[in-house]
Amino acid sequence: MKKLAIAVLVLLLIAGGAIFYAWNGMKPVASSDTPVEFTIEPGTRTVQIADTLEEKGLIKNALLFKGYLKVKNEGSRFMAGTYEAKPGVTYDQLISMLNNGEVKPEEMMRFTIPEGYTILQMSETISGESGLDAKQFVKLADESTGWNAAIINEIPKDQELRHHLEGYLFPATYELPKDSTEQDVIQVMLSQMEKRLGEIPDWEKLLEQRGLTLHELLTVASLVEREVVVDKERALVAGVIYNRLDKDMKLEIDATVQYLLDKPKERLLYKDLEVDSPYNTYRNKGLPPGPISSPSLASIKAALEPEKSDYLFYVTKKDGTQEHLFAKTYKEHLENIEKSKKMAK
């Protein structure tokens, strides 16, 4: 009887020791605020995953984790990827993470391209915020091939374009993987322009009705973008541009001259207006060879559906509103210029 009691006691002690060993082994490791990264390759077995977690110091005992998975009937839905976890997580937290594919977020680069920016301005902004090469960005923006975007087929091959993709890169805030190249950035911006154009109802039909090519549309939209600040005037200014084109008048838009300068001037001089360039709408009739900036969706819509009027001229009010005074005749225009000057006093 005594021997039986001793045997039972020994068994109890062994069982108790095993239970304590399992309980202790399944407890989370000492917590830490420093994340640990680990990667699960496609096709990795749960046995190997458990070993990896132990090697990385996220669990104490791979064997116990394997047993826990078996009891819980888990492990068959684990998803491949690179994960990040802090020491101190529980078995259930790890299992949930792997089941849901809660992979480590990619390091991202983020930059904002304001509406009306040129290729040169974009290159400087993107370089400053992401470290990419500004010169390489500009060089690629002058390339006519190698892009996965149907809209670039609309760019004339024989035009004297300052930058091939000017006006075709949509202005917006972008977030891309940290390892993105200059080419990746341009491709995403081109794709975004295609996507945003597609959001305009019947835009291709409207384009056909106006008798314009996409290149001409984006050119007009870019002029509107650089000339207008107040949204309600976009369609009206677009209408003035078309009115002048219909009457075979020079557009005489300051923004086309500013586009040719290394640095925009607060006020253009008469000698600036004489610059010899197809972009100079003071010297040449018709539209410039291509866009002078990246237009917003609002300016593109305005160029598609301009507001009808008899106006042929406009001048900026000097009262701080950034609105314009519009005129039907040159005489009215001169009167508006004087009105504008008085507003500044």
**Predicted confidence (pLDDT) per residue in 61-76, tens digit:** 999 999 999 999 999 8
Instruction: Give 148's DSSP letter.
Output: -
- Average confidence (pLDDT) over 267-291: 88
Give the pLDDT band of residue 11 (cuts 50, 70, 90). Answer: low
Q: What is the pLDDT of residue 106?
A: 77
Q: H helices within 164-252, ranges in order?
A: 182-198, 203-210, 214-227, 234-246
10 has a pLDDT exceeding 60:
no
Q: What is the pLDDT of residue 45?
A: 92
Backbone angle region of 112, left / alpha / beta, with phi > 0 → left and psi within -120 to 50 → alpha: beta
- Average confidence (pLDDT) over 80-99: 92
Name the residue among 309, 314, 317, 257 with its Cα closest to residue 283. 257
Q: What is the pLDDT of residue 280?
A: 93
Q: What is the pLDDT of residue 236?
A: 97
Mean pLDDT computed over every residue of the chain? 89
Q: What is the pLDDT of residue 13?
A: 47
- Average confidence (pLDDT) over 108-125: 94
- Coil, helix or strand at residue 34: coil
Of the candidate ranges 119-128, 152-161, 172-181, 275-284, the one whose mean pLDDT is the lowest: 152-161
pLDDT tens digits for range 233-261: 999 999 999 999 999 999 999 999 989 88
| Alpha-carbon distances of 330 from 17, 73, 251, 252, 312, rounded to whole Å | 101, 84, 13, 13, 8
The reply to whether the predicted model has a pTM over 0.85 is: no
- Average confidence (pLDDT) over 7-34: 60
24 has a pLDDT exceeding 80:
no
- Average confidence (pLDDT) over 12-22: 48
Task: Return the bridge partners of 36, or none.
Answer: 85
Give the pLDDT band of residue 9 (cuts 50, 70, 90). Answer: very low
CA distance 314 to 243: 12
Q: What is the pLDDT of residue 12?
A: 47
Are residues 327 and 302 in contact, defined by beta-carbon separation less than 8 angstroms?
no
- Average confidence (pLDDT) over 204-208: 92
C-alpha Rg value of the chain to the nearest Å: 33
DSSP string of 258-311, one letter each residue: HTTSSS--SS--TTGGG---TT-TTTS-S--SS-SS---HHHHHHHHSPPP-S-
CA distance 238 to 225: 10
Percent of the chain surpassing pLDDT 70? 92
